[in-house]
Amino acid sequence: MFSLPAKSGNNNPFPVRNEAEKLYFRHLTRQDGLPSNRTYFALQDFRGYMWIATDNGLARYDGKNFLIFRHIQGDTTSIVDNTVFAIKEARDSMLWIGALDGISIYNPFTGEFRSYSINGKGTDRFPCKGAATFFQDRDGSMWIGTENGLVHTTAKAGKFEYFSTRKGNIGFTREYSLKHICAIIEDLRDKNKLLLATLGGVLQFDKITKKVTRDYKKIINNSYDVIDMYLDDNQCLWTCGWGKGLNCLDLKTELWKEYPYNVNDPYSIVSISKKSKDEFWLATIDHGLGKFNIKNGSFYFYEKDPSSDHSLISSSIKKIVYLNKGKDIWLLSDDGINILNRDYLPFTGVVLPFRGDWVTCFYRDKEEKRLYVGTTDCKGLNYWDERKGSWKLIQPEEDPGKSGFGINRILKDRHP
């Protein structure tokens, strides 16, 4: 057997062992300078800085050093709160920061914050606690999902419109949970409508009438929350939540399809990110990083391996984000950050179909499109026919006997 790098997309032409794609991670924790291991979100700005939302301040990371921003009591130019949930880079390069007590807007050119708090007065007051997600509209205005409804503001902020999305006032009910918004996207069927992921399910919100127009109710195992969603090119809205597995709402037919993985105990999936044309990455609680194949509906999960330093920090992940122009995948958790570099090529084993103890040499004939492989104790010369996609054995004229013979080097004869 010999090993070859497993290239992205699994374009290896050789018949390899049926093994899962191996992933290798490096980690960022408090030991590296993070203000807290509990991380919620990360974003890379136009200058290349990584911004990390934690429960102990906002961290800026340049790949080596951290700069921590925390709230300073009485200082209106400091960040609004130390518990930071969300970060959004607007089209004008301003950073919108969602936190427990409101929002802050960071100007990267001046290095100053403009903060709006639920405890503020006048134009400094933000209407809700728990700003969890942002969506910038076509006109540059910002929609903000909070734990108590939807907020709309202009690009310069300072004036906030508040819209209630809950349908009831009794706590711990589905109708009451509709107030807590986790994600916002545009409804591709109508640019004047938004889709809201809430702890009560998916809602459609009309930006013109300023009202909720549809309620896409979906209850699985008494669970109705939607933590994250992804809208694909086929107008399928993929959603996930606690104890619900993965679910798909076809926006053309408005019918749901369930992908629970375990029907009796659906996994808790809290973040969805595109891996490839036919695959998703999934952040799960207790089962690590999931991989879902859209075509065949299959799952695979990468959990923490205590025996490996390059495994996940833990099997609980909160969020998946792409950074470094898509090369790096950051997995945020309560135990720190896992960083997967997709340029790293692990190896996969290729099993030779013929006898041979050790692989000693290679020679690739580009003209004939053959890869010759020399081994010890062999019965002949192995080669892979790239045109036919099969292995062949060139046997010597004389029988090499039980012990066979060894090939130490392969050269092409240039003479006819």
Inter-residue contact 389 to 402 (CB < 8 Å): no
pLDDT of residue 378: 86
Inter-residue contact 151 to 144 (CB < 8 Å): yes
* Average of per-residue pLDDT across 281-285: 97
pLDDT of residue 9: 43
Quick check: 250 pLDDT over 80? yes
Quick check: 313 pLDDT over 50? yes
pLDDT of residue 349: 63
Q: Name, of 293-297, 348-352, 376-380, the range with top average pLDDT.
A: 293-297
Residue-wise DSSP of 258-321: EE-SSSSS---EEEEEEEETTEEEEEESSS-EEEEETTT--EEEE---TT-TTS-S-S---EEE
More confident: 90 or 122: 90
* Average of per-residue pLDDT across 19-47: 92
Quick check: 228 pLDDT over 90? yes
Q: What's the pTM value of the predicted model, to 2 decimals?
A: 0.80
Residues of the chain with CATH 2.130.10.10: 17-346
Q: What is the C-alpha to C-alpha distance for residues 102 and 160, in angstroms, rounded to an integer?
A: 12
Quick check: 2 pLDDT over 70? no
pLDDT of residue 416: 62
Cα 416 to the chain's mean position, in Å?
A: 56
Residue with tokens 């000693």: 360
Q: Are strands 390-394 and 381-385 parallel, antiparallel or unpaired?
A: antiparallel
Residue 367 has a CB neighbour count (10 Å cut-off) of 6
Q: Name, of 121-135, 144-158, 367-381, the range with top average pLDDT.
A: 121-135
**Confidence band of 123 (pLDDT split at 50, 70, 90):** confident
**Confidence band of 7 (pLDDT split at 50, 70, 90):** very low
pLDDT per position as a tens digit, 55-110? 999 999 999 999 999 999 988 789 999 999 999 999 999 999 999 999 999 999 99
pLDDT per position as a tens digit, 141-160? 999 999 999 999 985 667 89
The CATH class that applies to domain 17-346 reads mainly beta
Q: What is the C-alpha to C-alpha distance for residues 321 and 139, in angstroms, rounded to an integer?
A: 25
**Confidence band of 386 (pLDDT split at 50, 70, 90):** confident
User: What does the mean pLDDT of the chain come to?
Assistant: 90
Residue partners of 210: CB distance under 8 A and separation at least 6: 161, 163
